A and B are shown apart, each in its own frame.
Chain A
Amino acid sequence: EPEVTQTPSHQVTQMGQEVILRCVPISNHLYFYWYRQILGQKVEFLVSFYNNEISEKSEIFDDQFSVERPDGSNFTLKIRSTKLEDSAMYFCASSPGQGYGYTFGSGTRLTVV
């Protein structure tokens, strides 16, 4: 069963530091996504990525955030100048096309201290 792989599983960072969360989507999927989930709250959409560019982003995804697909396999989320409220589980997902279900990774737990 193909998987979406995320690394690291847990990241602790000092407030103000930059973090990069990494994802390897399923190889033949075309759409890539980042979501986050603050403890006890709902899954929130951050950004979608298709054809090497952002196709949609939420109001959460401000200038502090950026995404990149640096090569044919990795999909990264960079958070600059982290804040305490950025602490959450960050999930990467991919899908083969619009209207299809998503395959999620197991997440990166980001803790900002």
Chain B
Amino acid sequence: TQLLEQSPQFLSIQEGENLTVYCNSSSVFSSLQWYRQEPGEGPVLLVTVVTGGEVKKLKRLTFQFGDARKDSSLHITAAQPGDTGLYLCGGTSGTYKYIFGTGTRLKVLA
């Protein structure tokens, strides 16, 4: 069974702090996506990483794909209350269907 494990599961931090969310698997992924979901809304695609070792930046968010393409991380610098939400990684490995990670619920306190 293919799994994408995210850690931590929950994170509550103060505004201005930095944080990193991890997405790990034992399988190699051809690409990985990161999404943010707010309550009552659908997940919104943030980024796609394709190449092992790739780093992409989206304002205060930095995404990295592991060299072996089995893991990815999302780093947020100087978190703001607007960053609050559920962060999901997702991807497909080989011929398996697309799967989502277990999710990281982030709360940034003002």
Contact = CB atoms under 8 A, between A and B. Distances in A.
Interface stretch (B14-22, B57-65, B71-79, B96-104): B96-104
27 contacts: A4-B42, A43-B43, A43-B88, A43-B103, A45-B97, A45-B99, A48-B97, A48-B98, A56-B97, A99-B31, A99-B92, A100-B31, A100-B48, A101-B35, A101-B48, A102-B45, A102-B90, A102-B98, A104-B42, A104-B43, A104-B44, A104-B45, A105-B42, A106-B41, A106-B42, A107-B41, A109-B40
Contacts of B27: none
A109 B39 CA distance: 12
Interface of B: 30-31, 33, 35, 37, 40-45, 48, 88, 90, 92, 97-100, 102-103
A42 B44 CA distance: 15
A31 to B, nearest CB: 9
Given A100-B48, A101-B33, A105-B42, 9 more contacts: A42-B100, A43-B88, A48-B98, A99-B31, A100-B31, A101-B35, A101-B45, A102-B98, A109-B40
Interface residues of A, number: 21
A104 B28 CA distance: 24
Interface of A: 4, 33, 42-43, 45, 48, 56, 89, 91, 93, 98-107, 109
A105 B35 CA distance: 13
Given A42-B103, A45-B98, A45-B99, A102 B33 contact: yes
Given A42-B103, A91-B42, A107-B40, A99 B97 contact: no
B10 to A, nearest CB: 12
A45 to B, nearest CB: 6
Given A43-B88, A98-B92, A103 B100 contact: no
A34 to B, nearest CB: 12
B97 to A, nearest CB: 5
A91 B35 CA distance: 14
Contacts of B48: 100-101
A100 to B, nearest CB: 7
